Each structure stands twice: as C-alpha cells, then as structure tokens.
A and B are shown apart, each in its own frame.
Chain A
Amino acid sequence: MAASFWDSTQRRHWLYTREELAAIRYKLEEEDPTSLTHTFPLPDLRHLNIYFNQQMQRLGKRLSVRQQALATAQVYIKRFWTRVEMRRTNPYLVMATAVYLACKMEECPHHIRIVAQEARLMWPGEVQAMDTSKLGECEFFLISEMQSQLIVHQPYRTLKALESDFSLSPDESMFAWNLINDHYQTDLPLLCPPHIIALTAVMLALVLRPAPGERPSSSSINTSSLAAAAATVQQAQARAAALSASSSSSTGLGSIPGTHGLTPQSSLLSESSSEGKKVPDAARLSKVQFFAAWLAESTIDIEAMVDCTQELISFYEAWDNYNEKFTKESISRYIKARGLV
C-alpha cells in the first residue's frame, strides 16, 4: 500500500527481472505489424534515457518542478514503454504528459495549459500539435496503460531516513542523492526496490569518498568501485555467516554492535587506498564498517545491491559515448515518418 512497499502495486506489478524486461521489450518490437521497429533502429536505450532525462529536466526547470515529481515522471515513462512500443508514441508528448501527471500525484500540480505551452516552446519541431486536448488524451493513455497505479515509492525517502543513521557527511549525502537522480536514466527503477537503490547509493558514497561537490561519473563509479563495493558486501556477508555460525541471537537494527569484530586490515582499506586517494581516516573507516555490520544484520538482499552497482557502472560507461545529436535525430526520424509530430 501507500506506505508499505511490500504491499504496493509497485512491488507487485512493476518490478521485473532483467530477463523479463528484455522479453517484454522483445515482444513489443515483434508485435509491431509494420516492422517499423526494424526500419527505425533506436540508439542504446541508456542513451535514449539520458536524452529523455535531460529533456524532462529542462521542462521541469521551466515549470519549477521538484525533483521528486520529475523522478516519478521518469518512472511513468519507463512503465508506459513496457506496455507500448516507444516508436508508436511521440516521446515528447509522453514526457510532457508524464510530468503533468506526476506533478498532480506528487502534490505540486501545474495547469495543463501551462505544461502544454512550455512543451510547445521547448520542442517546437517535435510536437506541433501539443495542446491541452492532446496532453489530456495522452494522460488517459498513460493512466490506462499503468492501470491507474500511480503511486511510486522513491529511494529518496529511504536515503533521508538513513542519512543520519550512517552519519553521512553533506558531501556523501549529496553524492548519494545524485546517484539516485542518475539511476532514473537506467532500468533500475523497474528492476530494484527503492531501498536497495538507496542503500547502494549510500554504500557507494561511503566507499568512494567523494570530493566536495563531486558528481558521480565514470571516473568515480567504475570497476574498481565495484571491487570496493564488493569488498564491503563480502565483509557484510562474512559477518552474517559468522553471526549465524555462532548462533548469536539476532539483535535487530536497533542495537548494532558497531565496529566490533572488524579490523582496519580489512580488504576494504586496501581497495580504497589503491585508488591513490587520500588514506581514509578512522572515522570514515568506522562508518563503512558500521554500514557493513548493519547490512550483515539486516535481511537486505545484498546480491541485488551488487547488481545495482553493476548497472550504475555500465550506465556511467555508456554516458561517456553519449551523443545527443544522434539520439535526438533518431527519434525525430521515426516521429516524422509516422506522422506523430
């Protein structure tokens, strides 16, 4: 339900395995009777997502939409395009509609006329017929395909709740926050529960020791960061195994024994310092250890966190070869050919 992710429609209907998601998309492409999908190949989905994210951020800025609503809008378009092949839609219209709908859902509504007007100004060549009626019609389409399941659980709330528990510094918090912002450009919102994403972001922020103001990128989130993260996770797992072996009674989240049992000689330390950054101070190390200990005593799906890290790494890699012009043109080609403009 609205508060419990476990009972939510998000968990029950909108989370997939990678294989399921691939199968859904394959089926959508194959279903197209005109084989349009083959006529108009699209770039890497990650590149499309980067482009859509940028466009929605721009629209959001013009309308002063809060990040939370934009995040929800991004989940909406992802869900929608698991039900309708993207090339049967005008993505600009879908994006504008998703923003309009998400704003209502996240309690920061904008008038439909204003959204249509801003979208028209932003994308004059792509959506000539963008008016209230068009947007309203697309809203019906979106809601119908999403089966009115419009409440989206976001990782931001988990992050906020855990920030102080894990003593994140402002830089670490900001880094984790940006990671969460970026994950909307991946398939992760359709693959992972929000708390896994939040915890992965916390873990990476703790392990990678971001410089003040540093944003996540392929230079910080890469295979060596995966190694560091994996080490954290290993620690956690080893600890969990030790705990169950000694059959010590589970203490629950409230009474974590802190750094007890973890030594500064852990693999984590060597991984981190091998990156050539400054040697972590004791405080930071204990923060990481605390996090590992917390993970070990939780029932968090640690494998999912590893997958999530992997997905983020491949996203930042893909970002490096992103070409906006090419991406934009490949969309324009099909919307013009299909008369969706």
Chain B
Amino acid sequence: MNRIRQSRAEVSQQPRSYPTDRGIGPIGYQSKVRVIDKYKVVGFISSGTYGRVYKALGRQGQTGEFAIKKFKPDKEGEQVTYTGISQSAIREMALCSELNHHNVIKLIEIILEDKCIFMVFEYAEHDLLQIIHHHTQQPRHPIPPSTIKSIMFQLLNGCQYLHTNWVLHRDLKPANIMVTSGGEVKIGDLGLARLFNKPLHSLFSGDKVVVTIWYRAPELLLGSRHYTPAIDMWAVGCIFAELLSLRPIFKGEEAKMDSKKTVPFQRNQMQKIVDIMGLPTKERWPLLPHMPEFSHLSSLNAPLSHGHHYHHQGQRQVGGSHLEKWYYNTIGQNAGGSGAASGAAALASLGAEGYKLLAGLLEYDPEKRLTAAAALQHPFFNTGDKVSANCFEGLKMEYPHRRVSQDDNDIRTSSLPGTKRSGLPDDSIVRPNKRVKEG
C-alpha cells in the first residue's frame, strides 16, 4: 500500500525531471557530446557509398586537425527514426576502437548523435592517390625512390600490425593509404575490414564483392571463398607497382552483377593480370584447379611472348611472366609517353631487389605470396639508402594539400546528392572506385 503511494508519486514527478537522464524509456537517447560543440568543420573532403568526410578543427582546445566521417543514414534526408546500424559500420567502429599503431589511421572518438554516426579521425594531409596523381602532371616525373621505399615499408608495417591482430583490411588501394604532412603512412578506411580469427560464418557469406577490382587478388577473381591476409598483400603489390609506374598495373573493367545477382567472372580484370603475369599454372599454384572459376581460365589469352631477351636466365615457361620486363621498363624509362628523358633511370636505384619484392607480392599462389612480416624482412629494405620513417625526407618539394571544398560545410544537415540508397543495408554494397579529382 505504501508502495503504491510511492510509485504514484514517482510517476507524477518523473517526466523530464532528470537533467542527466539520456535514458531509453520515456526520454529519448541524446549524445553526451555534440559534434558541432566540439568540432568546427572547415570543409568537405569526399563522399562515397559510406557517407561523407569533413575536415575539422577542435573547438575545445584539441590540437591538430581532424577528419570526421559521417555515415550515410539508410534513408536520404532527415532521419526520422532509428533503423539499426549497418554491420559494416559496427565492424569499423569496433575495430577502429581497438587498433593502435602509427601506420594505421587513428580514431579519436565516435559520436552518436541525432541518429547519425560521426567517426573522428586524425587528419592526414595526403593520400597515395593524390601523390601518384601529382607525379602524372606534366612533366610526368617518377616518385623519388627513397619515398617509394619508405611508403612501402610503412604500408607493410601497418599491414603486419593488422594481420597479426587478425584484421583483414580487404580494400587496400592508393586512395585508402593516407600520408601525413610529416611523411607518416597511415592505412585508412577500415570500412570493409574484418576479423578473420573467429568467423562464425564463412568470411565469404554476406559479402559478395571485396576489394576494388584493380587491386583484387587472383584467388578472389577465381572465386575463392578462403579469405586470407594474402588478399591484402596482393593489393600491396599492386600499390607498389602503381607507385613505380604511376598507373594501376592491372586496370581492368569490372563486369557488373547481372539481374540474378550472381557474381560474374571478372574476365577483363583477370586478363589484365595474365597479360603481365602470364597464365597461372598448377605447377606454381597447386590448388589452382580447385578454384571455382578455374574453367574460365582456359578462355583467357596467354600473353604475347615478346619478352625472350628478358628471360636470359633460361627456364622460360609457356605463358611465363612478363613482370620482370615490366619492372625494368618501368624503372628504366619512367618518363613514359611524354618523351622527356629526364625521368629515365630515376628509379634504377631500386634495383633487382625491387623486382624480387614486387614478384613476391604479386605471386599467384596465395600460400607462396609474401606475408607482411616476410616482406618487411626483404633485402629491398636493407640495400641502398636507409629507410626513413618520413617518406618525404630529403624532398625539396611539397605535395599539394588535400583539397577541401567549402560547398558543403554543414555536417549536420547535408543530404548526400548522387548517392543511391542500396537495396541491402549491408555487405552487398559494391564500392565504386573512390577517385578524388584534383586540379
């Protein structure tokens, strides 16, 4: 009886009487921290299927600059109700909260506010896509070898950290490799990353497509369901090649999913790989015949064998690799079509070890492919100049800064023009190549 009286009293005094109650129940969730109170947005950086990224400064005495990633709400425009956070966002939030390494982009905090997710990261002034792009500007000139070496070492270091912690990045590409103004390389965008130590479901289920096609490992193109760190290492090999030649080494065209939602064989991409690497053989890749899409290989063209004189060490195989030729062509006459001889031999100092590292990363058999740990021990990093922790060390020039636009500075309300809502909330999202236009 006493209790009844008391509880009545509670009910009558209860509504809105708790200033600190951000509770569920009668009063809705409210963030303790408001993004606009804490950060001053100074510009818009980029957008993708995941949402948008803004550049910001701290308002409360935080030092440095920040990149705030605002996840795209499921529905366009004003978010009226909560719909549940996508699994990939949950993964990214959870993984980034655990990761702590100087070659992986650092998460500062996550703010959940107004039905939106804001992930606040340390800001990086550059990324590899931007740096590569800068060198393609006339006159086309190669990235200095010491910079390439430092970038590769730091990239591999970050990969090794991820892999020893059972994290697969799954979307390594130049646009996702950040570089700070101090020349520190930071692996970014863990939007597709996953833990591979305890997959309750096969890592294959759920995600139909992983890794931007140009950087996609041959075993994925051939339908492998076994995801391993080797997938990231192939992408690292592709990035290495791109740092050398300033263009994607295997620039295929993606075959789109048909209406039945079956994943097509990526013939064009596989052909691009075969053009340089030769056809894979079961002698070098014993599990090759077990690949689900193995039968498609026979329909590909073996590369033209115009590389005889590069195989002077004998053991020339049918459908052999042209990678060695590609490498020496690239480091020898990087000036490319411009005809300028200025760049010629600029990369020659990377030498034979550079080729061996590249070949080790672009190894067809994922089991034989270099691991991040093994690659870090590669003689490439012990020969020639000492590897610097600052990839810009000794450079006389400065790379252009990241462009931030002022068109859309309102982090809170902006809708996302041009981004379609995907049919499925989660993993089936196919990521387009995020190419930020410069200049």
Q: Which residues of A contact B (CB under 8 A)?
A: 1-4, 7-9, 31, 33-34, 36, 39, 66, 68-69, 84, 88-90, 93-94, 100-101, 104-109, 112, 132-141, 143-144, 147-151, 157, 333, 336-340
Contacts and interface: CB of A to CB of B under 8 A. Distances in A.
Interface string B28-44: 11011000000000000
B6 to A, nearest CB: 5
A92 to B, nearest CB: 11
Nearest to B166: A3
Nearest to A32: B18
Given A2-B195, A133-B82, A139-B82, A9 B24 contact: no
Given A1-B165, A112-B83, A144-B31, A34 B14 contact: yes
Contact of A36 (B10, B82, B197): B10
B94 interface: yes
Contacts of A68: 198, 200
Given A68-B200, A148-B97, A104 B81 contact: no
B82 A137 contact: yes
Given A9-B97, A137-B28, A140-B112, A107 B199 contact: yes
Contact of A3 (B3, B83, B164): B164
Most buried by B among A1, A106, A149, A338: A1
Interface of A: prevailing SS: helix
B97 A339 contact: no
Contacts of A9: 97-98
A150 B24 contact: no
A140 B199 contact: no
Contacts of B164: 3
Contacts of B25: 88-90, 338-340
Most buried by A among B15, B31, B99, B200: B200
Interface of B: prevailing SS: loop
B100 interface: yes
B197 A3 contact: yes
B167 interface: yes
Contact of A337 (B7, B84, B87): B7
Interface in B3-24: 3, 6-7, 10-11, 13-15, 17-18, 20-24
A340 B26 contact: yes
Given A106-B200, A109-B426, A340-B25, A140 B82 contact: yes
Given A2-B165, A143-B93, A148-B93, A137 B426 contact: no
Interface string B76-100: 0000011111010011011111111
Contacts of A148: 93-94, 96-97, 110
A101 B90 contact: yes
Given A137-B28, A138-B24, A139-B82, A2 B166 contact: yes
A135 B166 CA distance: 30
B93 A1 contact: no
23 contacts: A1-B165, A2-B195, A3-B164, A3-B166, A7-B98, A9-B98, A34-B18, A39-B3, A88-B18, A88-B23, A89-B23, A104-B91, A107-B199, A112-B84, A138-B24, A140-B82, A148-B94, A149-B94, A151-B94, A338-B10, A339-B15, A340-B24, A340-B26
A22 to B, nearest CB: 22
Contacts of B7: 39, 333, 336-337
A120 B93 CA distance: 28
Contacts of A149: 94, 97-98
Contacts of A66: 200
Given A136-B81, A141-B24, A151-B95, A33 B32 contact: no
A295 B243 CA distance: 51
B201 interface: yes
Given A93-B24, A107-B201, A132-B83, 12 more contacts: A1-B98, A4-B165, A39-B7, A39-B10, A136-B85, A141-B29, A143-B110, A148-B97, A150-B94, A333-B7, A338-B26, A339-B14
B432 to A, nearest CB: 24
A269 to B, nearest CB: 38
Contacts of A340: 24-26
Pick the 9 closest A-B CB pairs, nearest first: A136-B82, A112-B84, A337-B7, A150-B94, A340-B25, A133-B81, A1-B165, A3-B165, A148-B93
Most buried by B among A4, A8, A90, A150: A150
Contacts of A336: 7
B18 A33 contact: yes
B1 to A, nearest CB: 14
Interface string B56-80: 0000000000000000000000000
Given A39-B6, A108-B200, A132-B81, A339 B11 contact: yes
Contacts of B94: 105, 148-151
A7 B100 contact: yes
B99 A139 contact: no
A88 B14 CA distance: 11
